[in-house]
Amino acid sequence: MAAFEISHLELPVDLPVSVASDLARQRPDILAAESLLHVASAQVGVATANLYPQLTLGANYGSMALTAQQLFDANSIVWGITAGLVQPIFHGGALVAQRRAAIAAFDQAAALYRQTVLTAFENVADALRALELDAQTLAAQADAFAQARAAAELAQNQFDNGAVSYLSLLNAQQQFALAAVAVVQARGDRFADTAALFQALGGGWWNESAPQSPAKPLASKD
């Protein structure tokens, strides 16, 4: 297996400083909260429907009992209809309580969904802000690296010509090495924050099937 080197990693050419809010909907936590909200909404509908009689009238309704003795016979359609009408009345208190419980569960699911969405947007905003700062830091470190390299080369030439001491050369080389480390650190931070953005979006913005809004690109500096 080939040895891994950080130089093998490549950042996207353009990183956005803003993304469409719809992209965050592919996050697993938002999808889960949305599913719970749909289930809770359906339960409210079921509980509401249970408050009404459940009747089925067929073509043979004309066989209703014609005598008082047959009126409440088990096979009488009239008795069956009456039982269906009376049942919600007898159990009305329990059915109303079930509906209230379903509504409360729906309100709780709605609150959870709102909080989940707000948290997701906060995560995305934090990641975008971090990437913007990373770009600025990387640009500054790259400039410092270029200046330190030029200073080290100048010090080397001056030392070769006897214009500066060896201590001055070592100091210039040390500053150059520190600048190189700072550039690597800045690139590493940008890799980490890019991964954080991917996670915050639940996959990323590269999905062409997802709706996208125009966003100002943040050009990669590395």
Give tens-digit pLDDT for 160-213: 999 999 999 999 999 999 999 999 999 999 999 988 988 888 875 555 444 444
* CA atoms of 54 and 118, how far apart (whole Å): 42
Per-residue model confidence as pLDDT tens digits over 60-83: 444 444 444 544 454 444 445 455
Q: Which of 22-31, 35-44, 76-85 has the highest mean pLDDT?
A: 35-44
Find out whether 19 and 205 touch, Cβ atoms under 8 Å.
yes
CA distance 13 to 128: 15
pLDDT band with cut points at 50, 70 and 90 for residue 15: low
Domains and CATH numbers, the chain: 20-219 (1.20.1600.10)
Query: What's this model's pTM, rounded to 2 decimal places?
Result: 0.64
What distance, in Å, lies between the first and last C-alpha atoms of the chain?
Answer: 27
d(C-alpha 198, C-alpha 121), whole Å: 13
- The answer to whether 99 and 48 are in contact (CB under 8 A) is yes
| Whole-number pLDDT of residue 32 | 92
Contact in structure between 24 and 120 (CB atoms under 8 Å): yes
